[in-house]
Structure 1
């Protein structure tokens, strides 16, 4: 538990920071006056979300790998902790080993972070009266909807990613994303790609509702309007 808890803040800061900066750049790129371009289009929101997914994968793929390896081992004999896990991976698989499953992670996160922010912006706007700032209820509902929509789309590739990441820790060996998909589909059927979807969705609503509320609250404190 300690490793995910300590790294969640880092991952979220990377995602929200890169998204905010990308959206700010995209929404002003076609304008002479930035003040006229505060309302971003759906395409811009999706593109900024995809960009945040790219940045997140580049930085957090090793973190995600270590988390999966630690959670997947049934005993403490192989990895004694996060640092030992990294050391073992580097010794046995080299630097590339830290990015095992990185392609599957990118296929999951890049489009899904686009979908993560898009339903949030749409839902928040729908629940907010014209000309008024979004309230707590609108932000919580929009964040929860965004989390559920994202996991509904991300779960199939999340299953593939986890299997690829565990293949270097005594799990079944796969030659790549397509091989993993083919073998899993052949042996377990299409339902295998939706394992954990219900649990992920139940967890995603409150977690992402609070995440977005915290994000919006911090923006008001750290970046008040007019500054």
Structure 2
């Protein structure tokens, strides 16, 4: 049942947080944006509302499977660890047990998420092509140039990727299997320790927010615990998330980065240490409502299933 509950919770989370995820990816990969609102306004001005949902169809199709795998792996690892250490799967786990199970769930999901992350990031950073313009100076180089439209008859190049499946097929054809798993090393580092933080912080917060005489927190407690767990997880995941996004975008055209360490060193050298925390505020703002939705849905489905089975 954990797999089903995780799948439903994951879909609800994507529905809540995808527009802010698009803004986050663009801020991390395109230095021209000076901040969150600049990116939001520029995206809306150029592409309207649809621009915030580029690449959405693939995550919606796959997130149920990925979220199901994450929550299911976590619960099964935890029950096996408890059975091995304490003789019963229902025994109260220690903090190290929860951390190890969360770490395992983060590692397992990488094999499924890496290709979808590549497609998502490529589509999110693929802005609508603008018609070419030429500038004519009327009174010397110091004059304000006037803008004239490009001559008619020259076709405006269309987008390289026409959708998630076309993007995956194009990447596989041009870059091979390695292209689909570009940035997977950063993804492993990101998801391993972030999911360990995610499940551990959720378990601790639920324990603290459970009223005396009860075994579980109420709905408000689940909402607060889920939202805070998501914020903490993204707080530790953001540096590797920045590197992952840059490596995945880097496959287009001439490559700048030779690998994870080179990307990290080059990014810090060119833009300073703050570059590793690009999108942190946005990640945390997005994580709270997204993970509120994920965990409250997850717990509701589990309680409904237990009620039907008893």
| TM value normalised by structure 1 | 0.93
Partner secondary structure for residue 169 of structure 1: coil
Paired position in structure 2 for 1:96: 178
Q: Report the structure, 1 or 2, having the larger helix content.
A: 1
Contact 2:79 / 2:89 at 8 angstroms: preserved in 1? no
Query: Radius of gyration: which is bigger?
Result: 2
Paired position in structure 2 for 1:50: 103
- Note if 1:205 corresponds to 2:288: yes
Contiguous gaps of at least 5 residues in structure 2: 1-55, 129-157
Return the offset for 1:156: 0.7
Paired position in structure 2 for 1:192: 275
Paired position in structure 2 for 1:25: 80
Partner secondary structure for residue 126 of structure 1: helix
| TM value normalised by structure 2 | 0.69
2:197 to 92, 115, 128: 115
Give the length in aligned residue pairs.
Answer: 225
Cα 1:217–1:171 shift into 2, 3 Å: farther
What pairs up with 1:5-44 in 2 under 5 angstroms? Answer: 5-35=60-90, 37=91, 39-44=92-97
CA–CA distance in 2 between the matches of 1:33 and 1:19?
Answer: 16
Cα 1:197–1:171 shift into 2, 3 Å: farther
Runs of 4+ deviating beyond 6 Å? none
CA–CA distance in 2 between the matches of 1:17 and 1:33?
Answer: 18
CA–CA distance in 2 between the matches of 1:141 and 1:213?
Answer: 10
Paired position in structure 2 for 1:85: 167
Return the offset for 1:131: 4.0
Q: CA RMSD in A?
A: 1.7
Return the offset for 1:120: 0.4
1:69 to 106, 122, 126: 122
Contiguous gaps of at least 5 residues in structure 1: none
